[in-house]
Amino acid sequence: MTTPETTPTGPLVARVAVDIALPHLDRPFDYLVPDADRASIAVGCRVRVKFAGKRADGFVLGLAGSSEAGDKLRPLERVVSPEVVLTAPVARLCRAVADHYGGTFADVVRMAVPARHAATEAAEPPPHPEPRPAAPPSILSRHPGGPVFLDALAAGRPLRAAWTPAPVHGPPGDWASGLVEAAAATLAGGRGVLLVVPDADALAALAERCAAVFGAGSFVTLAADLGPAARYRAFLAVARGRVRLVLGTRNAGYAPVRDLGLIAVWDEGNDSLAEERAPYPHAREVAALRAALERSALLVAGYARTAETQALVERGWLAPLNPPPAELRRLGPAVRIAADTDLALERDPLAHAARLPHDAFAVIRRGLAIGPVLLQVPRAGYVASAACADCRAPARCPRCRRTLRGERGADALQLVCGLCGPVPGPWRCADCGGTRLRAPRVGVRRTAEEIGRAFPQVRVVESWWGHQIAEVPDVPALVLCTPAAEPRASGGYAAAVLLDTHLLLNRPELRAAEEALRRWLTVCALVRPGADGGTVLAVGESDARALQALVRLDPVGFAARELAERRATGFPPAARLVYVEGPPAAVEHYAVAAATVPDAERYGPLPLTDETVRLTVRCPPARAAALLDALTRESARRSAHKEGGGVRVVVDPQVVD
């Protein structure tokens, strides 16, 4: 391959990755470059080609003076734009991600390179000043190993670390400042930085901190909700080398940052970092692959720690940056479980059966004396599901038999079917004929109504997805929210109560306890330190392992035990897991392909719907490449023969049920 500076004087051949996501065509194709396009073509630019009789877009992966196809080459249709948008390091990353997840190069490139916006390419680019020097670090430097990590970033050494800050409101839990300190050390060494966060709220908080430290305009943000023009403008600033600091959500991990020195991923267990489109890559894994390919530093961070990250720590691939549990407990809020002592049970004998035991009211009263109090409720709505008060059978829609939920009506509970809408007329139980209703699953709105009656003089704030409150003032108030919809409190919450913890723990998923602990630690991070009166009370079974880890503020110990259990039972990350979903006949071919791989265990197929089944294949990590190769070859065979019926292949699924 050649560069534009060494372009041959004879025929010029372009190797093109055509934008066609068919497994049997997942390779570059050679095209002859017309003389009219020789001056404008470049490795990484967009081109238009004729493929299978149709016009298709593609990216130039390389230029050469000859091709194995000889003189049978088709010419390029045209160079769409001379702008280099797919750099060589990002192209290698896309190939690695596609191979790791059993996908195609074209599918991954669509995540990496945004759609072209011609007017933005032609417009005058906005100015981007160099980032200002930052103040000496005060967050990461407090952690064991933190100064060594920061010195390595400044020197350009590719150290990799897992950071677990204290889950508390204030400097010890200020994750955004910690990422900014790591970025400042890397920028001071003359290299580029890429910071990835899970959602728009985290991105806004990080952008605000970066603007305060480095100056407005010294960085760009990349997120899907920016809009086509704004996103492409920011992407071009990175591709042209005009900025060295990039912030963004999951697909920002592919940003073409030049001389990349650091990739950091915040809240690494958040499922928002998992891509919903094939081949379903996770931003944490993309960052790890990129750090290895480009020899850049890596920082994987979060208040909680996943088993995947713990496995990398135990292998020595990531260095731990976390205070010991005793220090976390000293820095964090005081955490305990309701009715966890004999005295509490004597005072409230029904505490274990009550949804809001006496301890919860006591914590709320003490918290309201000094500031706002947060109550986390796992379910949104008013009544998540209704049931007959006489026989306890679920209340079902008389038309479609779906379980009914309840909304607040003018005089009584209004039953609503998620498919048919409001249920007209009086309801009657189909099992016993009863007409009285009970609410076994209460949502955040009903809880707000009940708690508001108990504290009639206190302002009640409700926040849930679709009705989210960003921030509350530092005055006494009751703030009720669903997970991931917690408003920030300007001075930190005085107390927090975690209700219905069993609902998060009892989900039939492999990662249920891990995800529950992550959500609870996120609440702890909004509460004041215990030294300032900050308290977190969890209402649940005291013997639940995730709740015990919460009380100890020990996410690292929990991750280590979770990893040990998964090793014993053969679940990820101790093994690679693949789901194959589709029509039974098609899935059977994949089962035959998987059978050729030694040590690959097949489970199923099991029916998902009347027309779809799921095959689960598990293998040791050492056999993963062979398994994915066998499954990819089967996908290529199906696409080459144009076999009907869509098949979905998911490698290391986020939800293992």
Give pLDDT, residue 410. 66
What are the domain boundaries of the chain?
Answer: 1-84, 140-327, 333-381+443-552, 383-442, 576-651
Q: Alpha-carbon distance 248 to 13, whole Å?
A: 36
When the pLDDT of each residue in the chain is averaged and rounded to a whole number, the result is 92
Q: At what angle do helices 545-552 and 555-569 cross, to 10 degrees?
A: 150
Tell me which H or E stretch contains 606.
strand 601-607
Q: Taking 90 as the threshold, does the pLDDT of residue 205 lie above it?
A: yes
Give pLDDT, residue 189. 95
Q: Which two tokens stand for residue 253?
A: 């991990």
Contact 530, 496 (CB under 8 A): no
Give pLDDT, residue 409. 73
Q: Taking 90 as the threshold, does the pLDDT of residue 341 lie above it?
A: no
pLDDT band with cut points at 50, 70 and 90 for residue 8:
low
333-381+443-552 folds as Rossmann fold (3.40.50)
Q: Nearest to residue 265, comparing CAs of 235, 289, 242?
A: 289
Domains 333-381+443-552 and 576-651 share a fold: no
Give me the mean pLDDT over the 602-621 stretch. Answer: 94
Q: Alpha-carbon distance 428 to 294, whole Å?
A: 65
Q: Evaluate whether the domain defined by 140-327 bears CATH number 3.40.50.720.
A: no
CA 482 vs. chain centroid, Å, equals: 18
pLDDT band with cut points at 50, 70 and 90 for residue 345:
low
Residue with tokens 């094939």: 278
Q: Which two tokens stand for residue 656?
A: 């293992």
For the ranges 78-92, 371-385, 631-645, the one whose mean pLDDT is highest: 78-92
pLDDT, tens digit, for every residue of 123-160? Answer: 999 999 999 999 999 999 999 999 999 999 999 999 99
**What is the percent of the chain with per-residue pLDDT over 90, rounded to a whole number?**
78
Give pLDDT, residue 1. 45
pLDDT, tens digit, for every residue of 61-97? Answer: 999 988 887 778 899 999 999 999 999 999 999 999 9
pLDDT band with cut points at 50, 70 and 90 for residue 349:
low
Give pLDDT, residue 431. 84
The sign of the dihedral angle between the CA atoms of 511, 512, 517, 520 is positive
Kindly report the CATH class assigned to 576-651: alpha beta
DSSP state of 204: H
Q: Nearest to residue 473, comparing CAs of 371, 544, 384?
A: 371
pLDDT band with cut points at 50, 70 and 90 for residue 5:
very low
pLDDT band with cut points at 50, 70 and 90 for residue 632:
very high
Contact 513, 545 (CB under 8 A): yes
Q: Which positions ≥6 away from 141 have C-beta within 8 Å?
A: 147, 150, 181
Give the lowest-confidence range in 160-169, 313-322, 391-400. 391-400
